[in-house]
């Protein structure tokens, strides 16, 4: 019984992490139909920024806004300097550009911060949760709590604000939206800023949860993001969130009961391919964009 | 079509200039400087460069200074193949040391062997590397040996009767575990369960839950220090009581930085005894700390040893590959090695040395166990 | 006598040209994106290794075996691709790469993480080919494959592929058998990739699953994209540049990957059609040069 509860907690925590990283990327995809691989670099940047601020000030709570601000800025730069210039290029070209950026940034991190993992641990003043055999560590609480909060924010922005409406309109049909006078580029930029800030927070949280940041951490999570995005329907925020938790929980249980019959990423991808065979547009499909 | 022909002609215009060396001895080195193993690559290179510094400061090799020519191989076989060729022909080295993992070393070994360039492997532990290749020398400890010694140590010092195996899925992780599995019955240890995990994994909670239920005396966990730090932390968090046994992959100051208090009480099998009073060991760590402002690790120490072993061969053998290799394989009780004394070289040019175990106390490695048992320490 | 270092690099150039052409066929001509070509190279390589080391057969038998093995799996992937569009297909092929590598990594008969070693060099009646001879074989193979691809794209097949790439719905209406040609594109592309794996195995003589990870698939796509898709010269140039350039960059080897990534970004930002793709700056000006002209052509005629 304890094992089952542990797997639920681990799974939900993992799912929260996947969700936070994926939301930004799926939102970008919904708008400009580009697989923004470099999003993983933004997330790593967030982790490093958070770590640096924490190392400098000793205040863990300052790490979050620092990461958000830094990533928002970088996200906007990536959009304005790169994606905006290749708006009408073929998708695979833009994908390779994003990939090149990702590789360059990963190496830049290595050159600046060194190849070693940096320890990022903090003992929190608030306790974990323990009730009988259910145990949740403070870090897990932080991750799950932050995700729920942020997801609420995302839902509110997407569904209850003018910005969200603009996003949905541009996602549906960019030309028409422009024709109707919508400042599409402005909203695209906003989207990048928003998604990147989320990635920044995700980076800090992952850094704290595993107690380390290193230049290669982007590689580890970026593949999961693809799986989650596909399962949830590319561009579909709600689907992505549901898929994230589903994947996190499914992985934890599968590994617990069956072990690694394949590396973790391969397991996730097999799951994805099976789903795709039956539902070629993901679980939520194209029914709802953003 | 024309375009392709013209292009192919254009390639022939790309002819880089070959370099010529002065009065120096060129030693080649390949190591992952970029890519996922860049951390170990940097340690390895530093260890090698420290060795070169010592040797040159002491007068070099028969009066000539060593020039360490190093290249990045990104832990890729195909890069190693290209780099091997470059070292042999463009740089015209007299010997090469590999500071890289098994895959590139294994790919490059036949090339160096065929060209009769002595090649020393420092952390590549693939069993096939030196086999039937008389110019390839193995200074790294063959993985299985860790496992075999680990079993004896677990039974005798930790009084273990039951064990779970947590196995990293790459060649190193699996080979060290093979040794443990093989010897466990001999020492009265029963293996309850085996759990494999992929290299690079960060979250072990699902498996640790199962291990906790098994409740073994010891947990034999193969991995590098990054995985190890997470395993120790998460095991403690989840309440796993078993003593964790690791191997030399754990040996790095980062184990403590990343793992924190959770690492205390962990035991590892390795060739490097940090508690030892051997002058070579002490000197290496003192100088490393001074030069690089960070504590040395196993990888750096092995690299250091590899370069020293090759240098010894070069001193006695000059530039004759057969003499160089003979000089090395005839070494007995080579004390200049920072990791530990090399007792002798066995068949297939494999260095044999005593294996130790270290226990972590107060975030430092301390001596715990040592064995010279021939049955265990020879491959 | 050419130093073996150059021969080694040239051999890798040939292998990469084949890999790049396999992407060119699938994505450049037929418009189907695949981020899993490295997996097919791996299938070809492991088949070649298996045939020679485990089954003890002649190394030349490896050619049909590797090509066939890769093509069969490619056929399967082609079938799956019929249901998937664009980015879903891209991610599915990426996933496929991970699964293949995972299987190779965990299957005992493929040597798991230790890989398969001691693969024999190609030999002619018990005489192993010298490196020069092997390079010759590689170059000959590249020429053959280029000719095949060129012939294919000039034929009805090429026309059908172009139709599928540009205006799939229209092509369907006009009676083009989309299914047949899509699957054919996959089969041809993966067969070429499998063959490149065969050459790789018989050159490096030691293979591990890590040689065929997803990163190498993106490398393959990069090769084709950089040169310019939709042509033969594009992938060839891309392969040449991206195999030779890292060697030149060794003097700044600490910054190699950074340079590489930035170059990719910058080149593609300004020349999304690739360096010598059909609409690129270089190509338009090169074909405008007199030495390229067979007969007097007006400048407007250069496409």
Residue B267 backbone phi and psi in degrees, to 5: -115, 140
| Residues in CB range of B129: below 8 A, 6 or more apart | B102, B105, B106, B109, B121, B136, B138
Q: List phi, psi (to 5°) of C205.
A: 65, 10
Taking an 8 Å cut-off on Cβ atoms, the answer to whether C258 and A29 are in contact is: no
Q: What angle do CA B306, B312, B314 make, to 5 degrees?
A: 100
Cα separation of A73 and A24, whole Å? 14
DSSP C162-217: HHHHHHHHHHHHTT--HHHHHHHHHHHHHHHHHHHHHHHHHHH-EE-GGGG-HHHH
> Is the minimum CB–CB distance between C247 and chain B shorter than 8 Å?
yes
Among chain A residues, the shortest Cα distance to B33 is held by A115
Structure-token pair, residue B362: 């107060």
Cβ neighbours of residue A14 under 8 Å, at least 6 residues apart? A247, A248, A249, A251, A252, B203
- How close A92 gets to chain B, by Cα (Å)? 24
Q: Angle, to 10 degrees, between the axis of helix A264-278 and the axis of helix A237-258? A: 130
Binary contact (C87, A263; C-beta < 8 A) = no
Specify the pLDDT at position B172.
87
Distance CA B175, CA B45 (A): 25
Search chain B and give the residue with CA nearest C200: B78
Among residues C132, C133, C121, C139, the alpha carbon closest in space to that of C58 is found at C121
Please tell me which residue, B173 or C175, carries the higher pLDDT value: B173
Residue B220 Cα distances to A80, A206, B196, C148, angstroms: 51, 27, 11, 55
d(CA C155, CA C153): 5
Instruction: Report the distance separating Cα B90 and Cα B105, nearest Å.
Output: 19
B267 three-state secondary structure? strand
Contact: B195, A3; criterion CB under 8 Å: no
B266-294 pLDDT, tens per residue? Answer: 999 998 888 888 899 999 999 999 999 98
Nearest CA-CA partner of A217 in A228, A203, A205, A227: A203
Cα–Cα distance between C105 and C110 in angstroms, integer? Answer: 8
Alpha carbon distance C49, C53 (integer Å): 6
What is the residue whose two structure tokens read 């290595």? A110
Strand residues in C49-197 grouped as ranges (E)? 116-117, 123-124, 127-128
Whether the CB of A163 is below 8 Å from some CB of chain B: the reply is no
Q: Note whether A226 contacts C: Cβ–Cβ < 8 A.
A: yes
- Chain B hits for A260, CB-CB cut-off 8 Å, are 169, 195-198
Alpha-carbon distance of A29 to A83, in angstroms, equals 12
DSSP state of B61: B
For residues B130 and B109, is the Cβ–Cβ distance under 8 A? yes
pLDDT for res C98: 92
Rounded-to-integer distance, Cα B224 and Cα A72, Å:
35
In chain A, which residue's Cα lies nearest the Cα of B214? Answer: A3
* Token pair in block for residue C79: 């079938």
- The counts of H helices and E strands in chain B are 13, 14
Order the strands of the B365-371 sheet from edge to edge.
B190-197, B162-168, B218-221, B243-247, B267-270, B355-360, B365-371
Is the CB of C204 less than 8 angstroms away from the CB of B77? yes
DSSP H or E run through C261: helix C256-270
Nearest CB among A90, A102, A234 relative to C88 is that of A234
What's the token pair of residue A276? 């795709």
Nearest neighbour of B206 by CB, restricted to A107, A117, A252: A252
**Widest CA span in chain C:** 64
What is the end-to-end Cα distance of chain A in Å, rounded?
A: 38
Question: Do the chains contact at C236 and B7, CB–CB below 8 Å?
Answer: yes
Q: What share of chain B is helix, strand, coil (3-state, %, to 5)?
A: 45, 20, 35
Residue pair A93/C272 in contact (Cβ under 8 Å)? The answer is: yes
Q: Which two tokens stand for residue B275?
A: 């508690």
Interface check A219 vs B, CB under 8 A:
yes
Tokens linked to C27: 């994505």
Bridge-based pairing state of the strands B218-221 and B162-168: parallel
* pLDDT above 70 coverage of chain B, percent: 94
pLDDT of residue B306: 94
Half-sphere exposure of C119 (CA within 13 A, CB side): 30
Contact state of A211 with B229 under an 8 Å Cβ cutoff: yes
Which domains are delineated in chain C? 4-278 (1.10.3470)
Q: Running DSSP on this structure, what letter comes out for residue C210?
A: G
pLDDT for residue C189: 94
Phi, psi of C91 (to 5 degrees): -70, -35
Query: What is the SS3 assignment for C12?
Result: helix
B138 Cα to chain C: minimum distance (Å): 17
Q: How far apart are the first and last CA of chain B?
A: 57
Torsion on CA atoms C194, C198, C199, C200, rounded to nearest 10: 90
Structure tokens of A280?
């070629």
Chain C partners of A259 at a C-beta cutoff of 8 Å? none
Q: For residue C173, what pLDDT is reported?
A: 78
How high is the pLDDT of residue C299? 56
Q: Cβ contact (<8 Å) for A96 and C88? A: no
| Partners of residue A93 in chain C, C-beta under 8 Å | 225, 268, 272
Helices then strands (H, E): number in chain C? 11, 4
pLDDT band at B3 (very low <50, low <70, confident <90, very high): low
Cross-chain residue pair B7–C240, CB shorter than 8 Å: yes
CA dihedral A36, A38, A39, A45 (to 10 degrees): -170
C113 touches chain B (CB under 8 A): yes
Residue closest to C69 by CA, chosen among C91, C107, C39: C39
Cβ of A120: how many Cβ atoms within 10 Å? 25
Cβ-Cβ contacts under 8 Å, C214 against chain A: 223
Inter-chain CB proximity B42 and A116 less than 8 Å: yes
Asked if B364 is an interface residue toward chain C (Cβ–Cβ < 8 A), one would say no
Structural contact between residues A202 and A21, judged by C-beta atoms closer than 8 angstroms = yes
Q: Name the residue among B205, B213, B257 with its Cβ closest to that of A119.
A: B257
Contact A282, A230 (CB under 8 A): yes
Strand partners, B168: B197
Closest in A3, A214, A219 to B209, CB measured: A3
Instruction: Please state, in angstroms and rounded to a whole number, the distance separating the CA atoms of residues B40 and B37.
Output: 6
Task: Please check the confidence at residue B16 and state whether its pLDDT lies above 80.
Answer: no
What tokens were used for C126? 């018990």
**Overall size of chain B counted in residues:** 379
- State phi, psi for B356 to the nearest 5 degrees: -120, 170
Task: Provide the 3-class DSSP secondary structure of residue B73.
Answer: coil
* Whether C198 contacts chain A with CB within 8 A: no
Q: Nearest-CA residue of chain C relative to B41? A: C254
C199 neighbors C7 (Cβ within 8 angstroms): no
Where does chain B show beta strands of DSSP type E? 24-31, 65-72, 95-98, 119-121, 136-138, 162-168, 190-197, 218-221, 243-247, 267-270, 344-346, 350-352, 355-360, 365-371
Please give the average per-residue pLDDT across B1-7, as a whole number: 61
Candidates C38, C111, C204, partner chain B, best to mutate (most B CBs within 10 A): C204
CB contact under 8 A, B38 and A115: yes
Q: Which residues of chain A have pLDDT under 50?
A: 287-290
CA torsion C187-C189-C193-C199 (nearest 10°) is 90
The span from the first CA to the last CA of chain C, in angstroms, equals 43
List own/partner pairs for B316-324 with CB under 8 A and 24 or more apart: B318/B62, B319/B94, B321/B116, B321/B117, B321/B118, B321/B135, B322/B116, B324/B94, B324/B95, B324/B118
What does the alpha-carbon distance between residue C123 and residue B270 come to, in Å, rounded to a whole number?
Answer: 43
- In chain A, which among 241-260 make CB contacts under 8 A with chain B? 251-253, 255-256, 259-260
pLDDT tens per residue across all 303 residues of chain C: 678 889 999 999 999 999 999 999 998 888 788 889 999 999 999 999 999 888 888 888 889 999 999 999 999 999 888 888 777 888 889 999 999 999 998 888 888 878 888 788 888 777 888 888 899 999 999 999 999 999 998 888 888 888 888 777 777 777 778 888 889 999 999 999 999 999 999 999 999 999 999 889 988 988 888 888 888 888 999 999 989 988 888 877 778 778 878 888 888 888 877 787 777 777 777 777 655 555 555 555 555
Inter-chain CB proximity B81 and C244 less than 8 Å:
no
CB of A187 closer than 8 Å to CB of A167: yes
A79-A81-A87-A91 Cα dihedral, nearest 10 degrees = -80
CA distance A3 to chain B (A): 6
Strands B190-197 and B162-168: parallel
Whole-number Å distance between alpha carbons of C220 and C214: 10
Contact flag C221-A96 (C-beta cutoff 8 Å): yes
Helix (H, G, I), strand (E, B) or coil at B166: strand
> Nearest residue of A to residue C227 by CA position?
A93
pLDDT(B20) > 50? no
Choose, out of B206, B231, B252, the residue to mutate when testing the contact with A (most A CBs < 10 Å).
B206
C211 touches B at CB < 8 Å:
yes
Across chain B, mean pLDDT equals: 88
């Amino acid at each position: 019984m304890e094992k089952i509860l542990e797997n639920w907690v681990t799974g939900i925590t993992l799912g929260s992490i996947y969700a936070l990283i994926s939301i930004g990327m799926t939102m970008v995809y919904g708008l400009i139909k580009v697989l923004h691989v470099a999003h993983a670099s933004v997330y790593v940047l967030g982790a490093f920024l958070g770590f640096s601020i924490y190392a400098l000030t000793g205040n863990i709570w300052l790490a979050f806004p620092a990461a958000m601000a830094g990533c928002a800025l970088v996200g906007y730069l990536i959009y304005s300097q790169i994606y905006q210039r290749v708006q009408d290029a073929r998708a695979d070209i833009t994908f390779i550009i994003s990939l090149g950026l990702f590789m360059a940034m990963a190496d830049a991190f290595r050159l600046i911060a060194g190849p070693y993992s940096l320890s990022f641990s903090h003992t929190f003043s608030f306790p974990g949760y323990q009730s009988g055999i259910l145990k949740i560590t403070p870090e897990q609480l932080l991750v799950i709590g932050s995700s729920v909060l942020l997801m609420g924010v995302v839902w509110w922005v997407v569904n209850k604000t003018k910005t969200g409406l603009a996003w949905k309109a541009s996602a549906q049909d960019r030309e028409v939206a422009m024709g109707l006078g919508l400042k599409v580029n402005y909203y695209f930029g906003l989207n990048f800023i928003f998604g990147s800030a989320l990635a920044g927070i995700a980076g800090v949280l992952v850094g704290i949860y595993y107690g380390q940041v290193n230049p290669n951490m982007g590689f580890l999570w970026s593949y999961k993001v693809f799986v989650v995005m596909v399962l949830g329907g590319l561009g579909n925020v709600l689907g992505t969130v549901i898929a994230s938790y589903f994947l996190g929980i499914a992985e934890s249980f599968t590994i617990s009961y069956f072990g690694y019959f394949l590396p973790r990423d391969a397991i996730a991808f097999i799951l994805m391919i099976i789903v795709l065979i039956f539902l070629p547009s993901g679980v939520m499909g194209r029914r709802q964009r953003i | 079509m024309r375009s392709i022909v013209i292009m192919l002609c254009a390639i022939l215009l790309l002819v880089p200039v070959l370099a010529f060396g002065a009065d120096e001895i060129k030693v080649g080195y390949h190591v992952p400087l970029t890519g996922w193993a860049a951390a170990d690559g940097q340690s390895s290179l530093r260890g090698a460069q420290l060795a070169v510094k010592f040797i040159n400061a002491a007068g070099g090799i028969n009066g000539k200074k060593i020039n360490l020519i190093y290249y990045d191989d990104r832990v890729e076989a195909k890069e190693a193949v290209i780099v091997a060729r470059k070292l042999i022909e463009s740089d015209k080295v007299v010997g090469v040391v590999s500071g890289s993992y098994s895959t590139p070393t294994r790919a490059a070994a036949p090339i160096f062997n065929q060209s009769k360039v002595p090649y020393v492997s420092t952390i590549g532990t693939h069993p096939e590397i030196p086999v039937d290749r008389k110019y390839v020398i193995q200074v790294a400890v063959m993985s299985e040996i860790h496992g075999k010694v680990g079993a004896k140590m677990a039974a005798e010092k930790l009084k273990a009767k039951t064990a779970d195996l947590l196995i990293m899925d790459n060649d190193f992780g699996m080979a060290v575990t093979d040794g443990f599995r093989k010897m466990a019955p001999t020492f009265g240890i029963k293996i309850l369960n085996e759990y494999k995990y992929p290299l690079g994994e960060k979250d072990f909670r699902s498996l640790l839950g199962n291990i906790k239920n098994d409740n073994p005396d010891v947990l034999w966990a193969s991995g590098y220090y990054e995985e190890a730090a997470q395993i120790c932390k998460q095991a403690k968090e989840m309440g796993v009581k078993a003593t964790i046994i690791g191997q030399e992959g754990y040996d790095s100051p980062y184990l403590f930085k990343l793992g924190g208090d959770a690492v205390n009480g962990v035991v590892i099998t390795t060739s490097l005894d940090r508690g030892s009073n051997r002058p070579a060991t002490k000197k290496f760590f003192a100088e490393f700390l001074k030069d690089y402002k960070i504590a040395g690790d196993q990888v750096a120490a092995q690299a250091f040893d590899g370069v020293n072993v090759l240098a010894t061969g070069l001193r006695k053998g000059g530039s004759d590959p057969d003499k160089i290799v003979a000089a090395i394989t005839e070494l007995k009780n080579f004390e200049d090695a920072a990791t530990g004394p090399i007792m002798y070289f066995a068949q297939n040019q494999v260095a044999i040395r005593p294996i130790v175990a270290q226990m972590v106390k107060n975030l430092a490695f301390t001596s715990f166990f040592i064995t010279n048992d021939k049955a265990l320490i020879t491959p | 006598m050419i130093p073996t270092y150059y021969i080694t690099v040239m051999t890798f150039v040939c292998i990469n040209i084949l890999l790049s052409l396999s992407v060119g066929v699938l994505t450049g001509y037929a418009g189907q994106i695949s981020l899993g070509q490295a997996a097919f190279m791996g299938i070809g390589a492991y088949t070649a290794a298996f045939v020679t080391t485990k089954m003890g057969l002649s190394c030349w038998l490896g050619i049909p075996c590797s090509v066939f093995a890769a093509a069969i799996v490619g056929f399967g992937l082609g079938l799956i691709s019929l249901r998937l569009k664009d980015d879903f297909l891209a991610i599915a092929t990426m996933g496929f790469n991970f699964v293949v590598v995972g299987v190779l990594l965990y299957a005992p008969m493929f040597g798991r993480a230790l890989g398969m070693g001691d693969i024999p060099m190609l030999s002619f009646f018990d005489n192993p080919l010298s490196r020069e001879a092997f390079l010759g074989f590689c170059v000959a193979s590249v020429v053959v494959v280029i000719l095949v691809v060129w012939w294919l794209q000039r034929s009805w097949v090429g026309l059908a592929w172009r139709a599928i790439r540009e205006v799939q719905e229209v092509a369907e209406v006009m009676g083009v058998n989309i299914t047949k040609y899509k699957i054919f594109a996959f089969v041809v592309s993966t067969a070429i990739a499998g063959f490149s794996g065969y050459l790789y195995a018989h050159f490096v003589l030691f293979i591990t699953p890590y040689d065929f990870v997803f990163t190498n698939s993106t490398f393959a796509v990069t090769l084709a994209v950089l040169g310019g898709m939709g042509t033969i010269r594009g992938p060839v140039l891309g392969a040449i540049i991206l195999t030779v350039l890292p060697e030149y960059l060794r003097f700044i080897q600490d910054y190699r990957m950074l340079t590489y990534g930035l170059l990719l970004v910058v080149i593609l930002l300004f020349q999304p059609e690739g360096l010598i793709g059909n609409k690129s700056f270089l190509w338009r000006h090169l074909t405008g040069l007199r030495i390229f002209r067979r007969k007097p052509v007006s400048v407007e005629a250069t496409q």
